[in-house]
A and B are shown apart, each in its own frame.
Chain A
Amino acid sequence: AQSVTQLGSHVSVSEGALVLLRCNYSSSVPPYLFWYVQYPNQGLQLLLKYTSAATLVKGINGFEAEFKKSETSFHLTKPSAHMSDAAEYFCAVSEDTGNQFYFGTGTSLTVIP
């Protein structure tokens, strides 16, 4: 079975600073990888998705993620944090077949003015 590890349950950055949220997965085959964002009292919103077309994936709100097979990582970055980026971020992995969608435990991002 797949698993997803998000290092750091809480990350704080200053407004305008680089955002880096880490995600590692376990998989013996190339997976589908996703990042979601959840604002308070809302559902999860898809930020971006990796499907093997390109290793660097650009998403909404200025976020991007890079797939590194050698490191089994899919870290999320944004060059300059904005106050509105404060939210919970979830990494997820899915297999090509079957129904399973594995979520990480989430990283809460705080942006300090």
Chain B
Amino acid sequence: ETGVTQTPRHLVMGMTNKKSLKCEQHLGHNAMYWYKQSAKKPLELMFVYSLEERVENNSVPSRFSPECPNSSHLFLHLHTLQPEDSALYLCASSQRQGGYEQYFGPGTRLTVT
């Protein structure tokens, strides 16, 4: 595997389910990001991790819970989501924070029913 991978690619979940999104980067980077991309809205930065420490949380509801066990893996735990949470969730990584290009995974298309 190369670059940034995300699993699953598609996920349908009910509002009472608990699920997790997984991201893995094979680039040796030290910073990882979660973004939300909704139709007709700008890309929204959700969380930033640098050297496995969360350094940014952009007022994201607590039903989204990130986890970064090491510099190569990033998870987004989901519980009691709302229909408006349906979106494409993108993971990205960069060498370090600030000024460095981010490399994106293919995304997880999430549908909340």
Contacts and interface: CB of A to CB of B under 8 A. Distances in A.
A45 interface: yes
A46 B103 contact: yes
Contacts of A89: none
Contacts of A113: none
Most buried by A among B97, B99, B100: B99
A34 B92 CA distance: 15
Nearest to A101: B102
What bracket does the count of chain A residues touching chain B fall in? 20 to 34
Contacts, number: 57
A47 to B, nearest CB: 10
B43 interface: yes
Interface stretch (A11-19, A66-74, A77-85, A92-100): A92-100
A28 interface: no
Chain A interface SS verdict (over half): loop
Given A44-B90, A104-B42, A98 B97 contact: yes
Interface centre among A43, A94, A96 (most CB of B within 10 A): A43
Contact of A43 (B4, B42, B56, B97): B4
Nearest to B3: A43
A42 interface: yes
A106 B33 CA distance: 19
A22 interface: no
A29 B95 CA distance: 22
Nearest to B106: A43
Interface of B: 4, 6, 31, 33, 42-43, 45, 48, 50, 55-56, 90, 92, 97-107, 109
14 contacts: A34-B101, A41-B106, A43-B4, A43-B6, A43-B104, A45-B104, A51-B99, A90-B43, A96-B98, A97-B99, A99-B50, A99-B56, A99-B97, A106-B42
